[in-house]
């Protein structure tokens, strides 16, 4: 697994943890920063994970609005928490990280949904992110 893939998984873990614990993303990020300080071998994945989570924090209203707009009949609250984390992470990459092609962001999100969520999640994540990608011009 590449360092970027590991960082994406770590960002999903942080976002998911905050969501299910009912704490702000910034608090979960601070908690992870304390753990990361004791794990220098994982620094490469930590740096990009932190960039993702910081980006989600900075643009959370916009990201969540886009997700709900294109989710057709699904509110954020109705989605599994892990799907919300995956969608937020990938939407940030698509919207705010020009170094990551949309196809890569979507592919990584689908892979994580396949590994971490329900049987239907990969298809849902793929379709929703494709709609967002088609609707938002860079």
Encode pLDDT of 90-119 as tens digits: 999 999 999 999 999 999 999 999 999 999
Q: Is the pLDDT of residue 72 over 90?
A: no
CATH at residue 47: 1.10.940.10
How many structural domains does the chain have? 1
Q: Which residue range forms the structural domain that includes residue 10?
A: 3-135
Query: Average pLDDT in the 15-41 region?
Result: 92
Inter-CA distances, 42 with 32, 45, 80, 104, Å = 12, 6, 28, 22
Q: Tell me the pLDDT of the chain averaged across its residues.
A: 94
Q: Is the pLDDT of residue 138 over 70?
A: no
pTM of the model: 0.94
pLDDT value of position 18: 98
Residues 6+ apart with CB under 8 A from 59: 92, 95, 96
């Amino acid at each position: 697994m590449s360092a970027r893939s590991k960082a994406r998984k770590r960002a999903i873990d942080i976002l998911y943890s905050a969501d299910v614990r009912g704490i702000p993303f910034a608090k979960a990020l601070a908690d992870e920063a304390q753990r990361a300080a004791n794990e220098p071998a994982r620094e490469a994945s930590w740096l990009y994970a932190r960039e993702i989570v910081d980006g989600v924090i900075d643009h959370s209203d916009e990201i969540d609005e886009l997700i709900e707009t294109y989710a057709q009949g699904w509110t954020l609250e109705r989605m599994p928490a892990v799907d919300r984390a995956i969608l937020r992470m990938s939407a940030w990459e698509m919207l705010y990280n020009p170094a990551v092609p949309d196809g890569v962001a979507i592919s990584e999100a689908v892979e994580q949904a396949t590994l971490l969520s329900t049987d239907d999640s990969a298809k849902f994540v793929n379709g929703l992110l494709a709609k967002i990608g088609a609707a938002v011009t860079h």
